[in-house]
Amino acid sequence: MMFGRKRVLVTGGAGFLGSFLCERLLADGHDVLCVDNYFTGSRDNILHLLDDQRFEVIRHDVTFPLYIEVDEIYNLACPASPIHYQFDPVQTVKTSVHGAINMLGLAKRTKAKIFQASTSEVYGDPTVHPQTETYWGNVNPVGPRACYDEGKRCAETLFFDYHRQFQLNIRVARIFNTYGPRMHPRDGRVVSNFIIQALQNQPITIYGDGRQTRSFCYVDDLIEGFVRLMGAPDDVTGPVNLGNPGEFTIRELAEIVVEMTGSRSEIVSRPLPQDDPMQRRPDISRAKQVLDWEPKVPLRDGLSRTIAYFDGLLRRHGTVEALAAAPR
């Protein structure tokens, strides 16, 4: 094995973020084992990697143990959009909690360094703005989003308990809204929704008055943050916020997408879903300090690349319905 070359496991490796991470780790010279059950991931996302002799794929559900030998683990497995994680909320909790237990057990046995992809949803509907890592959050534990929010909060608890009890070498990143090519076309997130609706000149749906805010991080920036956090000194366990501190209202985003696509779409309002957070913006001071990291890709540049991706998909498949029905 070449100096510095590691055998790295990526759970959820065929998903939106996971596929970009696999790509980056291969480019960095590592052997990569991609694990996915294809609930929201897609073989299409990793087809271009299959000829690489340093890339392996296993179809596996992380709620069951996995017996392999690895040096590092990136635990990304979990549906991450409301449409997908609310489809089977019990399984979502199992994926977060049982999946964390199984991957932590694997890390303990192999003495691997392990990374947890947590989420800004651990902050719930925040009463502190912007959100810092010291904020404990405002989460409804019995609401329709709790399967994801509380599942991820419990996973963080498990990571830090394994760290304290077994001296496991952990990393925890709290991911804020991320977008880019390979997003699932029907994940219900605002960026993919707005782009697909705009490209088809359909009404663009916003919820409430559209004044709720989000911060949008391009996928390349986020993956750079992942790699820097995993490579940080051992005392940098996290949690560390990774996201773009630029803040936009949902209506602003819709207007930008309409402009950039040249769409004839009208913006229409629908009732606000329960527990939908009104504000979301990361304080990334810690990431700047301990990782020397901050996003580089402006929103319009990232949107341009994402629009081109979805435009290509729609041209090949005709409609989003045909696209959603295509083998994944």
The pLDDT tens digits for 271-318 are 877 767 788 899 999 999 999 999 999 999 999 999 999 999 999 877
Determine, yes or no, domain membership for 163: yes
What does the buried/exposed string (b/e) look like for 77-88 if buried means 16 or more CB atoms within 10 Å of the residue's CB? bbbbbbebbbee
**Structural domains of the chain, count:** 1
Mean pLDDT, the chain, integer:
93
> pLDDT tens-digit profile of 54-106?
999 999 999 999 999 999 999 999 987 677 778 889 999 999 999 999 999 99
Determine, yes or no, domain membership for 158: yes
Determine, yes or no, domain membership for 229: yes
Q: How far apart are CA 41 and CA 188, in angstroms?
A: 15
Beta strands in 87-207 (DSSP E): 113-119, 170-175, 178-179, 204-207
pLDDT reported for residue 277: 75
**Which of the residues are catalytic?**
148
* Residue span of the structural domain in which 76 resides: 7-179+218-245+276-297
Determine, yes or no, domain membership for 268: no
Determine, yes or no, domain membership for 232: yes
CATH number at residue 73: 3.40.50.720
Determine, yes or no, domain membership for 23: yes
Cα–chain center distance at 96: 13
In the predicted model, is pLDDT for residue 1 greater than 50? no
Determine, yes or no, domain membership for 131: yes
pLDDT grade, residue 9 (50/70/90)? Answer: very high
Residue tagged 């040249």 (tokens): 262
pLDDT reported for residue 224: 98
pLDDT grade, residue 230 (50/70/90)? Answer: very high
In the predicted model, is pLDDT for residue 160 greater than 60? yes
What secondary structure does DSSP assign to 224-254, as a single string? HHHHHHHTS-TT----EEES----EEHHHHH
Tokens encoding 27: 């480019």
Q: According to the per-residue pLDDT averaged within each range, which of 123-127, 128-132, 157-161, 213-217 is highest?
A: 157-161
% the chain with pLDDT above 70:
95
Going by C-alpha positions, the residue among 207, 302, 298, 199 that lies closest to residue 258 is 199
In the predicted model, is pLDDT for residue 150 greater than 80? yes
Determine, yes or no, domain membership for 51: yes
**Contact predicate 163/230, CB 8 Å:** no
